[in-house]
Structure 1
Amino acid sequence: MIYVVAGLAIGVVAGLNLNLAYNPEYAVYISLAVLALLNSIFNMVSDNLKSELTSVKSVSYLVSDLAFAMVLGYVGEKLGLPVYLAAVFAFGNNIYNKLGIMINVLLEKYNKNK
């Protein structure tokens, strides 16, 4: 767990101190990639708390979430429709569900330790 906290701290510090500029045309793709990564992280943490996480699951979460997000972003851009909002809704819904599962698992562990 210390590695996760250290990685997040390093990422936040690096993001705030690096002056990276990107083309605004890629804003949808970048936002979808960040949301897909957050969804993958929540899936992995939830599975880790339930002791069901494997390296194959980790990679499959990451690849499938990124592929889903990028395909929806690309299709939406070609059609001229905000189809990417489907990915935003799906990932947001999944993140809230996983957060609820994590809270339940942590509460069960807390109650067992009482």
Structure 2
Amino acid sequence: MWLPILFLVIGLSLGLLTDLQIPAAYSDYLSIAVLAAFDTLLGGIRAHLERKFDEVVFITGFFFNVALAALLAFLGVQLGVDLYLAAVFAFGVRLFQNIAIIRRIIIDQNLLVKLRKK
């Protein structure tokens, strides 16, 4: 569980402490990278709660997701089609699914704790 939180803290720290300006031409790529990062982070949290977390899967999943999404965006720019929207849609769906599953796991764990106390 510590690895997703570590990368979240590192990323937030770098983002807040630097005055990095991203050109508007790269905004599509950045949006996909952020969605891929959140997808991987929430997937790692979900895997930890399900007791299935694997650091290798977490790290490789992050880089593979970002690379694939960037490739889609690049191909879309070359073809003149907004292909990055496919990645945005896919990551968006996965984000909401992971959040729903995490919420369900937390609710179930809290209910079990309350039932054990009775």
Q: Tell me if TM exceeds 0.5.
A: yes
Contact 1:46–1:101 (Cα < 8 Å) also in 2: yes
Map 1:24-63 onto structure 2 (within 5 A).
Answer: 24-63=24-63
Q: Which amino acid aligns with 2:92?
A: G
**Count of residue pairs the alignment pairs up:** 113
Distance 1:97 1:79 in 2: 31
Structure 2 gaps, min length 5: none
Distance 1:7 1:56 in 2: 14
**Residue range with higher mean Cα deviation, 86-95 or 63-72:** 63-72
Distance 2:86 2:98 in 1: 18
Q: Does 1:92 find its partner at 2:92?
A: yes
The Cα shift of 1:14 comes to: 4.5
User: What secondary structure does 1:108 align onto?
Assistant: helix
Distance 1:12 1:42 in 2: 15
Aligned residue for 1:68? 68
Aligned residue for 2:104? 104
Q: Which amino acid aligns with 1:74?
A: F
- C-alpha RMSD of matched pairs (Å): 2.0
Q: Which amino acid aligns with 1:47?
A: A
Query: After the TM superposition, which parts of structure 1 deviate over 2 Å for at least 4 consecutive aligned residues?
Result: 1-4, 6-18
Q: 1:56 to 1:91 in 2, by over 3 A?
A: same
TM-score w.r.t. length of structure 2 = 0.83
Q: 1:13 to 1:57 in 2, by over 3 A?
A: closer
User: What secondary structure does 2:65 align onto?
Assistant: helix
**Residue range with higher mean Cα deviation, 60-69 or 104-113:** 60-69
Structure 1 gaps, min length 5: none
